[in-house]
A = this chain, B = another copy of it.
């Protein structure tokens, strides 16, 4: 009850007074449709119009006992990866009549607190990748807010959706091996995220199956600059192929190779992951993932969980899903292009 001068926007009471009815009638006129006379509804509408009344959703939500909003937590929004997921999530949520609250953790120290706070503002929450630890996830789950983890290691009793990493990485590795590449380096940190671990595992397993040693590993952050740096280091003794954790890194490695006078794919092959737009123009072999669908699925699962929760407290078994990913072969791995062959290659 701040004693500040009130910039009051109209409330339901003023509308009621203005229309000469009770607040109950205003409420009904604004929703129930068929419980109110047409003439009354008209009066209410006129009052609403006259006062520029917009219902305060806080009051409404509190009375209804639901936020009518979902949250999503992601590390960042640079690059299309998370943006697409968020978009798919928003689209699905909004069709289900829920607003979407976003929270980007960046590298914030207080991320855990921010996520906990967010959990108190929503009916359901999606948590992506490297944002908060398992403890926080468990805390949220304990509050009873339905939760879905995305592209993140599962936590007991919590729903999880991921994209396929290991198998497609194995496919990619097989492809590279089939083209004669033997010395392959992985750029990325298998320790950092389970997605990365899966990609490395797929690569390593396939190489072992071919009697080759475990591939080298160069941890780094996931942007173009990091790729350029690692790429430059690698150029001292170039491997046959560089398998990168994502497209940004791969593009960086690509740049570094060219800068060192090495030609991709002639001198070495480079591959990425995510299939960003730039990958297409750089002719980068990569893996495309159903990111939009990842987000949309999360929103729908949450909706289901929220409904269950309202219906009864019997805790269902956690769901798991792995969405398929697809290898996109372009010229950067030195093989028969299957898509947009050499799009801008003629450019001098």
Contact = CB atoms under 8 A, between A and B. Distances in A.
Interface of A: 1-2, 4-5, 7, 9, 52-59, 61-65, 67, 69, 76-80, 83-84, 86-87, 90-91, 94, 99-104, 106, 114, 116-121, 139, 142-145, 224, 248, 251, 254-255, 258, 263-264, 266, 276-278, 280-283, 309-313, 331-332, 340, 342-348
A331 B57 CA distance: 52
Contacts of A139: 52
A91 B62 contact: no
15 contacts: A2-B64, A4-B310, A4-B311, A9-B144, A58-B62, A69-B101, A78-B80, A91-B106, A100-B102, A251-B277, A264-B347, A277-B277, A278-B280, A278-B282, A282-B344
A143 B139 CA distance: 38
Give the copy number. 2
A301 B62 CA distance: 29
Contacts of A278: 276-278, 280-282
A94 B114 CA distance: 9
A101 B104 contact: no
A172 B267 CA distance: 38
Given A5-B311, A80-B80, A331-B348, 16 more contacts: A5-B312, A7-B313, A9-B143, A54-B143, A76-B87, A78-B83, A86-B102, A94-B104, A94-B114, A99-B101, A99-B103, A100-B102, A251-B281, A258-B347, A278-B280, A283-B344
Given A2-B310, A7-B313, A87 B94 contact: no
A86 B74 CA distance: 13
Contacts of A312: 5, 7
A311 B6 CA distance: 8
Given A77-B84, A266-B348, A258 B121 contact: no
Contacts of A90: 77, 102-104
Given A281-B282, A310-B7, A346 B56 contact: no
Contact of A101 (B101, B119, B309): B101
A69 to B, nearest CB: 7
A67 B77 contact: no
A83 to B, nearest CB: 4
Contact of A283 (B224, B251, B347): B347
A142 to B, nearest CB: 4
Contacts of A254: 344
8 cross-chain pairs, A with B, having the tightest CB-CB distances, nearest first: A278-B278, A52-B142, A83-B83, A77-B87, A57-B121, A9-B144, A281-B282, A277-B278
Contacts of A62: 58-59, 62
Nearest to A7: B309
